[in-house]
Amino acid sequence: MVEDVNYLDDKEPKLNIIETELNQSKVFITKEGELTEVPPPKTGYGEQTITWQGGKIKLVRTTYIEKI
């Protein structure tokens, strides 16, 4: 379960609660109140790099490796 906290005022936070399966390997990004699942490399082998700029996520780069 992922909890995303948004503050309506200085006193009471508004929670957005999202449920997900914990028996699977997944990567999620929260950006500006939205939850986005980052898909794995298509071949199942690879690398994902998240680039930050000014304290915010700007892009996700996914590279993959093919086994021959």
Dist CA 50 CA 7 (whole Å): 26
Whether the model clears a pTM of 0.75, i.e. scores above it, the answer is no
Residue 7 has pLDDT above 60, yes or no: no
How confident is the model at residue 4, as a pLDDT? Answer: 57
How confident is the model at residue 15, as a pLDDT? Answer: 77
How confident is the model at residue 17, as a pLDDT? Answer: 83
How confident is the model at residue 5, as a pLDDT? Answer: 55
Closest C-alpha to 49, from 30, 41, 32, 21: 41
Tens digit of each residue's pLDDT (9 = 90 or more) over 11-64: 666 778 888 888 988 899 988 888 899 999 888 899 999 999 999 999 999 999
